[in-house]
C-alpha cells in the first residue's frame, strides 16, 4: 500500500507542475491520493485495535 501511495504522490506532483494546482486533473489526483491515505490509516488502526484470544 505504501508503494501505491508513493507512486500516486509522485504522479500528483508531476501533474501539478504541468497543469497547475487548481486544474481539474490535479484535483482528481489529489482526491485519489486522499482516498489511498485514508484507507491506509483505516487499515493501520484496524490492525492496532485487533484483540487476540488464546
Domain regions of the chain by residue span:
2-45
Asked if residues 15 and 29 have their Cβ atoms less than 8 Å apart, the reply is yes
Q: 54 by DSSP, 3-state: which?
A: coil
**What is the b/e burial string over 5-34, where b = at least 16 CB atoms within 10 angstroms of the residue's CB?**
eeebeeebeebbeeeeeeeeebeebbeebe
| pTM score, whole prediction | 0.83
pLDDT, residue 51, reads: 61
pLDDT, residue 25, reads: 98
pLDDT, residue 12, reads: 98
pLDDT, residue 53, reads: 62
pLDDT tens track, the chain, 54 positions: 999 999 999 999 999 999 999 999 999 999 999 999 999 999 988 877 776 665
Which region, left, alpha or beta, applies to residue 5 given φ > 0 means left and ψ of -120 to 50 means alpha? alpha
Cα separation, 36 vs 5, in Å, equals: 6
Amino acid at each position: 500500500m505504501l508503494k501505491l501511495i508513493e507512486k500516486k504522490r509522485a504522479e500528483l506532483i508531476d501533474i501539478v507542475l504541468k497543469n497547475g494546482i487548481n486544474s481539474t486533473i490535479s484535483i482528481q489526483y489529489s482526491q485519489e491520493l486522499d482516498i489511498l491515505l485514508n484507507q491506509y490509516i483505516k487499515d493501520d488502526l484496524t490492525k492496532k485495535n485487533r484483540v487476540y484470544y488464546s
